[in-house]
Amino acid sequence: MTITNRKKVAIVFLNQPDFDELAFKFLILNLNKVQQCFEFEFPDIEEYPLSEPTETLLLEFARVIEDEGLSADFFVGISTYEIEENFFWLANVGGNCSVITTKGWRRYFAPPSVFEHVINCLVPVLAIMADKSGTIESHDPTRGCCLNCLF
């Protein structure tokens, strides 16, 4: 089965990443060649939009999307700042915006690389945002959930 209408996913670095940004972009953009569900892109933003941590990272990212006039089906922000309640990612269920943090990944997920950590977070946030039918239920706590509710 070939999917011809890929959903556009804009990935935004909310602050200076703690990994090689160009290598990560290369990896993610190469995913466009091996899968047909999403078209990943990195919008041109002159500066990192967030200069200091915030308690409402998801809300701040939504503001950045609006202020920058970004256009995509889904938006994923990547940050080194802590997400409220020490989550590794947050997605607004039924919405189109999510954030992933690399803060603390090594403590809980090492020895995989930070790239594996981000991709392992990217999969569930995209699935949750793409699920407009409401079949994926939210649950607490969501730390480390890899969508085992789907299988």
The two three-digit tokens of residue 89, written as one number:
């990612």
Is 1 a domain residue?
no
pLDDT at 132: 64
Answer whether residue 83 is part of any domain: yes
Residue 115 lies in a domain: yes
Residue ranges of the chain with per-residue pLDDT less than 70: 1-4, 93-94, 132-151
Please report whether residue 128 resides in a domain: yes
User: In which domain, by residue range, is 29 found?
Assistant: 7-150
Residue 2 within any structural domain of the chain = no
The answer to whether residue 62 sits within a structural domain is: yes
CATH number at residue 17: 3.40.390
- Chain centroid, CA 103 distance in Å: 14
- Condensed to tens digits (0 to 9), the pLDDT of residues 64-108 reads 999 999 999 999 999 999 987 778 998 876 679 999 999 988 888
Count up the domains in the chain and report the number: 1
Name, in order, each residue with C-beta under 8 angstroms of 12's C-beta and a sequence gap of 6 or more.
42, 43, 45, 49, 61, 64, 65, 70, 75, 76, 77, 78
Q: Taking Cα atoms as reference points, which of 117, 94, 91, 93 lies closest to residue 106?
A: 117
pLDDT at position 150: 38
**Predicted structure pTM score:** 0.84
